[in-house]
Structures are given as structure tokens and as C-alpha cells.
């Protein structure tokens, strides 16, 4: 499925990109920034100052992004970085450049339950003025179910990485697990990255990547982008960060319809998503 306009064109180049990287963070849009901050802090031994050196988008380039000059594309930013290099992408697994796998890059995938993902994506599309207007909530639900949003079907996205997680050595994380026990999940990420930091540093990273702290972090909350791109007066980029916010948006009828369609689309896998914790 086509990518949104700011990302058109770079996808084709990305598919033949074979530059060596170390860590790739992948999400179906939501949960990426949180994981980026955790990874960056682990690589810098919990040094908050080092992780304030630049906005998230400069520290960890977005592979698909392709803006008009003089703004560098994600690939151009990546090419100018020194190891260890970290990149983020929302690409479905079938579009991930083969060089990522050949070079045995570490791939961290973060999945969020469908209902909360849909709610967050809806509010993100409202404030992201580079995206098409999301339209009414009820229509947006159907767009999500049909895979008519940027980066395609959520169902295919989460299933694709889940089914390849062992073969490709993908660290498959759940947003709900990160919320429930962030320390445990930060330690999992640390071990996967073949790093070792002290318990005190882990505690510091957990604190620095809490929702409250990140919401006020100007290098991570995307307030550095102009209002013409992200309009925080419509909805904050860091909105709630909760599990179960879907209950404030879905009517009982919408929830039942969504659940029935979900059961059909996810019948071929058993991914342990949770809609509450």
C-alpha cells in the first residue's frame, strides 16, 4: 500500500539500501518514540545530557522520511552517522531492506493492542497536518479495519513480524508490558542489545522514559516541529500513554463490531495482546 506523501519515493531506495546498522526500532506508528529514548539512553549509559544533544528525529533517523531540500532524508541522515547507528521505521516486514537481515541488525519491534493503537493513531492523524484529515471517528475505525491508513494493515504488520520473530531474531515487545513493568522490559532490551549497565542506570532510564518526563522533554515530545507540521493545540503528541483508553472512545456496538472483525483477521495467529492491565 502507498505511503503517505512525505514518505513517497524513499521507500524504493530503502529497499536496496545495504549500509550496515546496529539497531532498528520498528512499530506500527505508535510506541516508537518511547523505545527510541530507551535505546538511546542504554547506548549512553543513562546519560540524560547526551540524550538531549538533539531532537529524537536527528538522533535516530526515520528511514522513510523524505522532505524537500535542504532537509535531509532519513537515508541521508543515516549515512552521516557513526556507529552505533540506530534507525526507526514503520515499514511492514516485506518492505524491510534485505541488507538489514544480511547484516544481522538488531531489530526491536513494539506492538500495541489494536484498539488503543487505533485511538492513538486517530488523535495523531488529527494533529499531524502532513497527513490527510482523519474524518469522523466511526469512519476511521473502518479505515483501520480495512488497512486504509498509512503503512497499511495493522493486522498484517503485527502478524508479519510475529511470525518471523524467531527466524529473524526480532525482539518482539508489547506496549502493555512496557507500561506494566518498565524496568523488566528495559532490562530485556539491554540484554538483546548485548549491553550491560548498572541497576542504578536502569532505574534512571526508567525514570527518564516515564510518560510524565518524556511529555516535558523538548527533545522527545515533538514540540520542536512547527505548528504547520504537528499542531499540539489539536492534540498533544504525547497525549495519554495509557492502556485501555479505547474504552473512552468505542461505543458498545463499535467494540462488538471491531472484536468480531479482529477475530476473523487474527484467526491464523495467537499473539498475546492485552486491552487492559
Number of domains in the chain: 1
Could you list the mean pLDDT of each consecutive 10-residue stretch along the chain, which spans 277 residues? 48 46 75 89 93 84 77 79 86 89 90 94 83 90 94 94 96 95 97 96 95 81 76 69 89 98 98 94
Is 131 domain-assigned? no
Question: Alpha-carbon dihedral of residues 177, 91, 195, 99, nearest 10 degrees?
Answer: 150
Is 106 domain-assigned? yes
Tell me how far CA of residue 205 lies from CA of 36, 47, 146, 185, 235, in angstroms.
12, 9, 38, 11, 26
Q: State the pTM of this model.
A: 0.86
Tell me how far CA of residue 118 lies from CA of 66, 138, 155, 239, 265, in angstroms.
25, 11, 11, 14, 15
* Active site members: 90
- Model pLDDT, residue 20: 52
Is 139 domain-assigned? no
Beta partners for residue 107, in sequence order: 24, 170
- Model pLDDT, residue 151: 84
The CATH number that applies at residue 66 is 3.40.50.300
Rounded to the nearest angstrom, the gap between the alpha carbon of residue 72 and the centroid of all alpha carbons in its chain is: 21
Is 231 domain-assigned? no
- Model pLDDT, residue 17: 46
Is 261 domain-assigned? no
- The sign of the CA dihedral 37, 40, 43, 45 is negative
C-alpha count within 13 angstroms, C-beta hemisphere, residue 36: 28
Is 34 domain-assigned? yes
Burial class (CB in 10 A: 0-12, 13-18, 19+), 124: middle
With CA atoms as reference, report the closest residue to 219 among 59, 23, 44, 24: 59
Q: Which range marks the domain in which residue 184 is found?
A: 5-114+149-226
Is 129 domain-assigned? no
- Model pLDDT, residue 133: 84
Is 200 domain-assigned? yes
DSSP label of 244: S
Amino acid at each position: 500500500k502507498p505511503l503517505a506523501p512525505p514518505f513517497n519515493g524513499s521507500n524504493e531506495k530503502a529497499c536496496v539500501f545495504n549500509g550496515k546498522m546496529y539497531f532498528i526500532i520498528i512499530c506500527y506508528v505508535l510506541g516508537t518514540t518511547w523505545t527510541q529514548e530507551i535505546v538511546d539512553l542504554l547506548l549512553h549509559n543513562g546519560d540524560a545530557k547526551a540524550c538531549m544533544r538533539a531532537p529524537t528525529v536527528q538522533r535516530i533517523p526515520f528511514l522513510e522520511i523524505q522532505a524537500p531540500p535542504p532537509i535531509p532524508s532519513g537515508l541521508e541522515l543515516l549515512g552521516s552517522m557513526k556507529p552505533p547507528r540506530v534507525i526507526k521505521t514503520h515499514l511492514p516486514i516485506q518492505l524491510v531492506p534485505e541488507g538489514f537481515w544480511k547484516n544481522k541488525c538488531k531489530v526491536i519491534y513494539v506492538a500495541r493492542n489494536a484498539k488503543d493503537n487505533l485511538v492513538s493513531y486517530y488523535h495523531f492523524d488529527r494533529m499531524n497536518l502532513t497527513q490527510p484529515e482523519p474524518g469522523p471517528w466511526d469512519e476511521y475505525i473502518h479505515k483501520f479495519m480495512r488497512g486504509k491508513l498509512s503503512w497499511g494493515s495493522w493486522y498484517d504488520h503485527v502478524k508479519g513480524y510475529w511470525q518471523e520473530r524467531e527466524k529473524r531474531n526480532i525482539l518482539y515487545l508489547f506496549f502493555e508490558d512496557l507500561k506494566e513493568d518498565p524496568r523488566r522490559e528495559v532490562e530485556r532490551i539491554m540484554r538483546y542489545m548485548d549491553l550491560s549497565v548498572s541497576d542504578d542506570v536502569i532505574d534512571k532510564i526508567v525514570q527518564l522514559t516515564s510518560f510524565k518526563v518524556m511529555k516535558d522533554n523538548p527533545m522527545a515530545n515533538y514540540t520542536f516541529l512547527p505548528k504547520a507540521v504537528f499542531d499540539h493545540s489539536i492534540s498533544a503528541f504525547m497525549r495519554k500513554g495509557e492502556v485501555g483508553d479505547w474504552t473512552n472512545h468505542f461505543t458498545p456496538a463499535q467494540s462488538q463490531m471491531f472484536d468480531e472483525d479482529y477475530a476473523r483477521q487474527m484467526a491464523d495467529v495467537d499473539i498475546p495482546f492485552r486491552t487492559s492491565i
